[in-house]
Chain A
Amino acid sequence: MKADHPQAVNEAPIDFSAATMAEMNRVIGLFPEGKEKSAILSMLHLVQDELGWVSVGAMNRVAQILNIEAIEVYEVATFYTMFHLNPVGKNVLEVCRTGPCQLVGSDDLIAYIEEKLEIKVGQTTIDGLFTLKTVECLGACGYAPMLMCKYQFYERLTKEKVNEMLDAMREASKS
């Protein structure tokens, strides 16, 4: 399945959990009547919170809810880099690679995580626990090097801190 080309995939809309639907209705309600489309980015974040990624079926459902064409959702989801259009690991490590982080060692940090997890940037570990990505500036330059996972910032990273972080994530995923 090539979710990079959502139009090429004919996938039935999927249903979301009651909690996700309730939250979607809340964010839609934040905007004036007729301007509900403004909630689309919030909704895609909610989709990703529930599924871990944004599938074509999910985008089709978002289109139904907003009463817009599916292409209007695809074109948004493919523009913004936070949305994963293919399945990812349980923990997506998004390491900042931009200048200020690079000045204080993000290249080494990325290499270290690659070595630790035995994967390259863009890949997922065999156990499905981790996906490693690099991203552009996350606005934490003074606390660099850093990475983001599940909207949480891990800052001033050292090898020791990375080890602790990975262990804690492994532990958390057992439960």
Chain B
Amino acid sequence: MARKLLIEHAAVPGITTYEVYRKHGGYASVEKALKTMSPEEVVEEVKKSGLRGRGGAGFPTGMKWSFLAKPEGVERHLVCNADESEPGTFKDRYLMEKLPHLLIEGMITSSYALGARRSYIYIRGEFMYILRILEKAIAEAYANGMLGKNILGSGYDLDLVVTPGGGAYICGEETALIESLEGKRGNPRMKPPFPAVKGLWGNPTVVNNVESIAAVVPIVNEGGEAYAAIGIERSTGTKLISTSGNLVRPGVYEIELGLSVEEFIYGDDYCRGIANGKKLKACVPGGSSVPILPHYLVTKTAAGTDRLMTYESLADGGFASGSMLGSGGFIVFDEDQCIVRNTWNFARFYAHESCGQCSPCREGTGWMEKVLYRLEHGNGTLEDISLLEEINKKIEGNTICPLGDAAAWPVAAAIRHFRDEFEWHVKSPQEAQTRNYGLIQVPLEA
């Protein structure tokens, strides 16, 4: 059985309370770090662990921490990104709801490592009930001397605040999140300066995903090397994967990175296969922004090797035949699903969520949505398909933040792998309204 470093105790009755959490080894990392380690030593362990940002980008957390500017007399902040909004992703919600103290413990240990004395958890407004859970847990942590002045007699002070968003996907982008946390519209900032130099209120700031911060707890407890011993290559440790779509058992799973995709989709310990005895048609393995994979590229790479749940293996083949681990939002499509409809759906999402700041994204996402709408509804032309590819190229790389890329990639990938299905919608519009295309053929060269 795979090791669980994060959610092992999620089902323990009362684990959301300080007392029960403490009994199960909770806050050990705070004691260890504050009493026996320097902040630099904590950063060093995180570097050794190989932990990569669990929000989607996969940037090494320890390296991100080491970029934090530390000018004399200027306050620094740790901000937790709990604005989980990437379609297909609901792992942070699970973690915070079941184990609020794990996030708080991670926030304390990480804030200590960064020298932050005022830290914030920015949680999406729709998760108001989880905000209440976190508020209660924070109050308990204060009452037990884990937050506030002179924590555990170490001389280290920390205040922790949880605050809600208002419903905007873009606020998951770290500079938009900072803007929002300052009480403004969530328009991403130009970089540089990076938040590590000028972030919240102009102070050096680290923004980390919920799961990344939680992972610091086992890393400090067991050491960075022990964490790095789990996984393959540069994909170390465990990862929460949230699965949705047409699966027998969708939900949140903690996996050791390196598990095969085959085992993950079909194994008894995981998703147990496609629901209703249907066949797999496609999979979006890392949240709606990452390229979709057709059935023949899900469990095997184009080279014929087993596809694994790692950053490297899911990206194997680049965008031609691979995808990304992303946020771990694993969306599975059965044979009855319409790829054109789904692509339109996701395009509508990005058009709705574009902040409007950059023209290529503001105009391009809406334009793609309109073109996909007419393709899906039987009014498209073959030129529309190439038009989509054109718009795509004009958005990608031409915007301040990655939302533009996130909107462009899924459309490009859907056309790349499912062009026949798109063309069928144009050539047989009547038929396309009454039945689904079904499984696509494996191309001869694949």
Contact = CB atoms under 8 A, between A and B. Distances in A.
Interface string B239-270: 00011111000111000000000000000000
Contacts of A79: 166, 168, 185-186, 355
Contact of B182 (A38, A99, A103): A38
B183 A103 contact: no
A61 interface: no
Contacts of A138: 126
B166 A41 contact: yes
B369 interface: no
A144 B90 CA distance: 11
A162 interface: no
Q: Is the interface of B mostly helix, strand, loop or mixed?
A: mixed
Nearest to A100: B244
B180 A102 contact: no
Given A80-B165, A82-B166, A103 B245 contact: yes
Nearest to B93: A139
A113 to B, nearest CB: 18
Interface of A: 27, 30-32, 35, 37-42, 44-45, 72, 75-76, 79-83, 97-100, 102-104, 135-144, 148, 151-153
Nearest to A77: B166
Nearest to A106: B345
Contacts of B65: none
B211 interface: no
Given A42-B164, A104-B245, A98 B345 contact: yes
Given A41-B180, A76-B183, A139 B244 contact: no
B345 A37 contact: no
A99 B168 contact: no
A37 B166 contact: no
A104 B79 CA distance: 35
B129 A151 contact: yes
A140 B85 CA distance: 10
B166 A142 contact: no
B333 interface: yes
A96 to B, nearest CB: 9
